[in-house]
A and B are shown apart, each in its own frame.
Chain A
Amino acid sequence: METPNKDETEISKVEFNDSEIEYISYGGEHHLPLIMNLVDEELSEPYSIFTYRYFVYLWPHLSFLAFHKGKCVGTVVCKMGEHRSTFRGYIAMLVVIKPYRGRGIATELVTRSIKVMMESGCDEVTLEAEVTNKGALALYGRLGFIRAKRLFHYYLNGVDAFRLKLLFPRPDLHAPLDSPDKYGSHMHSDHGDSLIEQ
């Protein structure tokens, strides 16, 4: 549900040690303004305070903040719930402020959320990202997300989005469909075999 603000002016990076970054799970109302400021600044979609509260009140354990010397430099906001027949996690917002980018902070934030989702029994995790958001697409690609579908003119600015999906493996993987399928029963299905063997 995010679209980053376009302003890509070069910002001088801050010198810091990775170990100086502290990751904290959402701890209450005092964290809310920190999250809101970060998201308001970096993402173009306007969210009312109710949208933020909707997420952080219902799934406080899925939201994380990154601090450097007491300053909030990044955040991730998520939810999870039933979707059709699956239990699905959803990453709603992810932001790291410019001087702190490129140091793995976003990766760490998202990884923490996904781990909680996995432990809570999610089958999959999804999110949307603008097709032009190279940074986010690379980040999620490295985490194993695939581009499940493209959403035409998803954002109000007319840009398409990818629906990204991370599917946790299940044991019954190679029995693909829910119902027993008579469709292929009378068909030959060994082309692959014969091709390799010839």
Chain B
Amino acid sequence: MATLDRANEAATTTVQSRPPRIPSGDNSVWADVSPLLHAACQDLHEGDLIHGDNFNLFAAMSALEIMDPKMDSGMASTYYSLDEAIENGAAPVPVSDDKTTDVRCIIDIFDHILACEATWHKGHSLAQTVYSCLYLLRPERTSSHALLHSFCQIIRATCKAVLSVVSDSRTHEEEDLFIMAYGLPLNEDGNERCLALLNAVEETICRQLRACKTTSSKRRVSEDIEPLQNNPDLEEGYCRALLCRLRFRKHFYHILMSMKRPHGGGLELAREHIASCISEIGHIRKSSDFLRASAPEMSEQNIENTTASGCKPIGFDASLNCRLSAPTPPRAIKIFCLEKALEYFVKLLHDLDIICSCSLNPSLEAALLFVVKFQKSQPDLVSRAHLQLLLVQNGKLFGRYPMFSMITRAAGLPEVVENHDIQKNEFMVQLQQMVMNLLKIICTNAAWQRRKLGKMLQDWRVTYVQLELDFKKEFGNTSNNETLGFKIFQHILVWVEEQTYWIAFRFLTVGFELELYADHDYCMVYWYIYIVLINLAEKKHLRMAMSSGTGKKKTKKKRDSLKDAGTNLQISPAVRFLQSQIYLAEGLGMMLAALRNEHRIVPPQSPFSTEHEVRFSGFPLTVFKCITNFIKALQRVFGKFYSALDF
């Protein structure tokens, strides 16, 4: 980088000898750098570079080495351009002049596209998966071929619909490769028209199927129906194989359209289409024996195949538009095999079905629990995006219930307060926004979710403090504690605390799923869970007691009553459930501490001591205080052994 210094000298001389042509701004001077570059070129060797002060790692890593196939996506592989590929017959229309071969090849294309679609959903770029199909890239080319054309149209429309759900939901922050679709033809076809054409094609094949099954005596009636292809022995099999594939597309598209309806209005209908879709997948699977048997070369049943027949599909080239795919080095993408793709779709359909079964009750707590339960099956991006769009529409729960009324209900306030002016309080507005964010965040993938929950904890705490200050300002020196405003504040404050501990609990438990904890961490993690749950149960109990009107008395006694569940009959099932979780966490924490004491779990003997609490830096201060006291208590009870624990 010595070059740089010499170049700088050159630059200075140039600037002096030639006045800048572009007017200078406040902090900038414009100069012609061509002479500088010319001068520098003579000194530059391979691997040298001229750079400014702001040359950073990102810039270094963005540099490409031309003609290195690992980096240079512009390197031509088979063809230089789509036109060249088409001219060379890479995607003929019809695929073959022989009708039987044409149908066979088209089924291969359908299958491979399905495999590509699943691969796309799982996080690869659209350009290098579905749009590696050359037929999709030039919509007008297929118009003479109704079967191929209708299929291509519905695929483009489906991709567009899925893409819009995912980009609207904004659950994709880490999955943004998914929505990159620059330069791809997605918009060509009107939705209605694409279904109409698909239905017409389906109808024709239905009649062809019926015709080939009727006995020869009746045949005359339907003689005017031209068969799908030339070989009568294969007619029924090919008709069936096509029908289930076309119907799958139709129902899948209907699902997307129904789920999009506002206020969850299309969920019932969507469930019907989901059931149909799943049954068509069954038919697709059943058709594979026939397709394999009628392929030109009998292929082994290979688990790697992207087509049911086992043949390589015609008309695909992933390298042609890999320049469109993403600002990343090109990678050879491994397309899912057909069976894996079908499995993916079955899971997707089941997940969508669960979403459609969501009861759209006006309850925040129920909605949060629904999502947590839904996430247990580790749903993929597309279904998570759908759930999020269902939950939050136009700033309302399910598009129907204003957030403030959901909060007041959750806080156990009577319905009359739902329109109270307090909702315009700056921090109440903020709170509504936070609840909306929470609903969205818990729909994201666990890794992203946990990070966001960690950050969110801080927001909830800050808002709590701000609300509390407002509360004191307004009601601090009046004796009038019975006004509605007072009550709203009081309830919501407790609820915000409860919700904060709920977030902390979720943050801790998602860590298990992500495999973030090592063996020797578990002890500490369970203590944290234990403390968080105690606080959560306490707040929940207090909030419930407040709404049943016995708040004041209960507040004083809450801890005794919580500890001794047996003697207090007024504890709600929800709090009782938390109590059992508290006992579990306590028991596990104790057991793990004992194992450490017995040296059955050995923390690493690192030359560098490290601080584990980094994981929990966003937690409410109460939690830290509890933990610190807790450790002191443990040390009192267990003596010197505990001083060795590095909490």
Contact = CB atoms under 8 A, between A and B. Distances in A.
A114 B612 contact: no
Given A149-B447, A187-B622, A192 B633 contact: yes
B464 A51 contact: no
Contacts of B71: 46, 48
Contacts, number: 173
B620 interface: yes
Interface in A114-160: 114, 118, 124, 131, 141-153, 156-158, 160
Interface in A155-172: 156-158, 160, 162, 165-170
B539 to A, nearest CB: 10
Given A183-B622, A192-B627, A168 B610 contact: yes
Interface string B581-601: 000001000000000000000
Contacts of B47: 49-50, 53
Contact of B464 (A173, A176, A183): A183
B64 A48 contact: yes
B22 interface: no
A163 to B, nearest CB: 10
A143 B608 CA distance: 7
Interface string A160-198: 101001111110011011000111100111111111110
B629 A193 contact: yes
B interface, how many residues as a size bin? 35 or more
Residue in A144, A162, A166 whose Cβ sees the most chain B Cβ within 10 Å: A144
Contacts of B374: none
Contacts of A143: 604, 606-608
B636 interface: yes
A57 B123 contact: no
B630 interface: yes
B516 A191 contact: no
A76 to B, nearest CB: 15
Contacts of A174: 624, 628
B251 interface: no
B541 interface: no
A197 B613 CA distance: 25
Contacts of B517: 147
B213 interface: no
Nearest to B610: A144
B604 A141 contact: yes
B637 interface: yes
Contacts of A170: 611
Contacts of A150: 446-447, 450, 514-516
Contacts of A156: 328-329, 331
Interface of A: 46-51, 53-54, 57, 79, 111, 114, 118, 124, 131, 141-153, 156-158, 160, 162, 165-170, 173-174, 176-177, 181-184, 187-197
12 contacts: A50-B59, A118-B608, A144-B607, A146-B516, A149-B516, A150-B450, A152-B445, A167-B614, A183-B461, A183-B464, A183-B465, A184-B621
